[in-house]
Structure 1
Amino acid sequence: MPAPPLLILEDIRFTLGNAPLLAGAALQVSPGERLALVGRNGSGKSTLLRIAAGELEPEGGTRFLQPGATLRTLPQEPDLSAHARVWDAVQAGLGPADDPHRARWLLEQLGLTGEEAPARLSGGEARRAALAAALAPQPDILLLDEPTNHIDLPAIEWLEAELAAFRGALVMISHDRRFLERLSRATLWLDRGATRRLEQGFAAFEEWRERLLAEEEREAHKLGRQIAREEHWLRHGVSARRKRNMRRVAELEALRAARRARVKPQGQVKLEAAEAERGGSLVIAAEAVTKSWGGRAVVRGFSTRILKGDRVGIVGRNGAGKTTLLKLLTGALAPDSGSVRLGANLAMASLDQMRATLDPAATLAETLTEGRGDQVWVGGRPRHVIGYMQDFLFAPEQARTPVGRLSGGERGRLMLARALAAPSNLLVLDEPTNDLDLETLDLLEEMLADYAGTVLVVSHDRDFLDRVCTSVVMSEGEGRWQEYAGGYTDMLAQRGAGVTAPPRPPSAPAPAPARPAEAPRAAPARKLGFKERHALETLPAAMERLGQEIAVLRRWLSDPELYARDPKGFAAKSAALAEREAKLAEAEEEWLRLEMLREELEG
Structure 2
Amino acid sequence: MAISYLQVDQLTKSFGDLILFSNLSFGIAEGQRIGLLAKNGTGKTTLLNILTGKESYDSGSVVFRRDLRVAYLEQDPQYPGDITVLDACFLSGTDVTNVIAEYEKAMELGDHSNLDDILQRMDLLKAWDYEQRAKQILSQLKIRNYDQKISELSGGQLKRVALANVLITEPELIILDEPTNHLDLDMTEWLEEYLQRSRLSLLMVTHDRYFLDRVCSEIIEIDQKQLFQYKGNYSYYLEKRQERVSGQNAEIDRANNLLRKELEWMRKQPRARGTKAKSRIDAYYDLEKKAEKERDLGNVQLQMKGSYIGNKIFEAKHIYKSFGDLKILEDFNYVFARYEKMGIVGNNGTGKSTFIKMLIGDALPDKGEFDVGETVNFGYYSQDGLQFDDQMKVLDVVQNIAEVIDLGNGNRLTASQFLQHFLFPPEKQHNFVYKLSGGEKRRLYLCTVLIKNPNFLVLDEPTNDLDIMTLNILEEYLQSFKGCVIVVSHDRYFMDKVVDHLLAFSGNAQIKDFPGNYTLYREWKEVQELIAKEAAQAEKGKEIKEEKPKIEAPKKEEKKKVSYKDKREFEELDALIPKLEAEKVKLENELSDSNLSPDALLAKSNRISELITEIEEKTLRWIELSELI
- TM-score with structure 2 setting the length: 0.74
Q: Is the 8 A contact 1:227 1:252 kept in 2?
A: no
- Secondary structure of 1:6's counterpart equals strand
Alignment of 1:550-565 (within 5 A): none
Distance apart, 1:49 and its partner CA: 1.5
Distance apart, 1:153 and its partner CA: 0.3
Gaps of 5+ in 2: 97-124, 543-569, 578-605, 613-629
Distance 2:340 2:194 in 1: 36
Structure 2 residue aligned with 1:291: 321
Q: Is the 8 A contact 1:144 1:170 kept in 2?
A: yes
Distance apart, 1:147 and its partner CA: 0.5
Structure 2 residue aligned with 1:378: 405
Q: Is the 8 A contact 1:10 1:62 kept in 2?
A: yes
Candidates 509, 512, 522, aligned match of 1:479 = 509
- Secondary structure of 1:286's counterpart equals strand
Structure 1 residue aligned with 2:380: 350
Structure 1 residue aligned with 2:220: 188
Distance 2:176 2:157 in 1: 16
Structure 1 residue aligned with 2:23: 24
The C-alpha deviation readout for 1:231-285, integer Å capped at 9, x for no partner, is 333444x46xx97443233333234235426753325375757555413223122
Alignment of 1:167-178 (within 5 A): 167-178=199-210
Which amino acid counterpart does residue 32 of structure 1 have in structure 2? Answer: G
Larger mean CA deviation between 282-291 and 463-472 belongs to: 282-291
Is residue 463 of structure 2 the alignment partner of residue 436 of structure 1? no
Larger mean CA deviation between 487-496 and 136-145 belongs to: 487-496
Distance apart, 1:223 and its partner CA: 2.4
Structure 2 residue aligned with 1:51: 50
Structure 2 residue aligned with 1:95: 95
Distance apart, 1:50 and its partner CA: 1.6
- In the superposition, relative to structure 1, how do residues 326 and 247 fare at CA in structure 2: closer, same or farther (>3 Å)? same
Larger mean CA deviation between 471-480 and 329-338 belongs to: 329-338
Candidates 319, 323, 327, aligned match of 2:357 = 327
Aligned-CA RMSD value: 3.4
Which amino acid counterpart does residue 136 of structure 2 have in structure 1? Answer: W
Larger mean CA deviation between 223-232 and 188-197 belongs to: 223-232
Q: Is the 8 A contact 1:21 1:192 kept in 2?
A: no
- In the superposition, relative to structure 1, how do residues 252 and 515 fare at CA in structure 2: closer, same or farther (>3 Å)? farther
Structure 2 residue aligned with 1:34: 33
Distance apart, 1:385 and its partner CA: 4.8
- In the superposition, relative to structure 1, how do residues 161 and 333 fare at CA in structure 2: closer, same or farther (>3 Å)? same
Is residue 488 of structure 2 the alignment partner of residue 461 of structure 1? no
Candidates 114, 117, 135, aligned match of 1:104 = 135
Is residue 197 of structure 2 the alignment partner of residue 165 of structure 1? yes
Candidates 301, 304, 317, aligned match of 2:334 = 304
Distance 2:335 2:483 in 1: 15
Candidates 574, 584, 591, aligned match of 1:518 = 574
Larger mean CA deviation between 151-160 and 113-122 belongs to: 113-122
Distance 1:277 1:233 in 2: 53
Structure 2 residue aligned with 1:558: none
Distance 1:398 1:284 in 2: 39
Structure 1 residue aligned with 2:112: none
Distance 2:3 2:239 in 1: 31
Distance 1:434 1:222 in 2: 40
Is residue 260 of structure 2 the alignment partner of residue 228 of structure 1? yes
Distance apart, 1:59 and its partner CA: 0.6
Larger mean CA deviation between 336-345 and 225-234 belongs to: 225-234
Larger mean CA deviation between 266-275 and 81-90 belongs to: 266-275
Structure 2 residue aligned with 1:594: none
The C-alpha deviation readout for 1:180-205, integer Å capped at 9, x for no partner, is 11101111111111111111111211
Which amino acid counterpart does residue 223 of structure 1 have in structure 2? Answer: A
Q: Is the 8 A contact 1:5 1:66 kept in 2?
A: yes
Distance apart, 1:497 and its partner CA: 5.3
Q: Is the 8 A contact 2:12 2:59 kept in 1?
A: yes
- In the superposition, relative to structure 1, how do residues 32 and 493 fare at CA in structure 2: closer, same or farther (>3 Å)? closer
Structure 2 residue aligned with 1:389: 419
Distance apart, 1:40 and its partner CA: 1.4
- Secondary structure of 1:346's counterpart equals coil
Distance 2:307 2:393 in 1: 31
Distance apart, 1:337 and its partner CA: 2.8
Which amino acid counterpart does residue 293 of structure 1 have in structure 2? Answer: F
Distance 1:177 1:601 in 2: 36
How many positions carry a matched residue from both structures? 516
Distance 1:423 1:504 in 2: 46
Alignment of 1:53-132 (within 5 A): 53-81=52-80, 84-93=83-92, 94-96=94-96, 97=125, 98=127, 99-112=130-143, 113-132=145-164
Q: Percent identity?
A: 29
- In the superposition, relative to structure 1, how do residues 56 and 47 fare at CA in structure 2: closer, same or farther (>3 Å)? same
Distance apart, 1:174 and its partner CA: 0.7
The C-alpha deviation readout for 1:157-184, integer Å capped at 9, x for no partner, is 1111221233221111111110011101
Which amino acid counterpart does residue 352 of structure 1 have in structure 2? Answer: S
Q: Is the 8 A contact 1:433 1:459 kept in 2?
A: yes
Distance apart, 1:451 and its partner CA: 0.7
Is residue 10 of structure 2 the alignment partner of residue 11 of structure 1? yes
Q: Is the 8 A contact 2:347 2:506 kept in 1?
A: no
Gaps of 5+ in 1: 522-596
Distance apart, 1:134 and its partner CA: 1.6
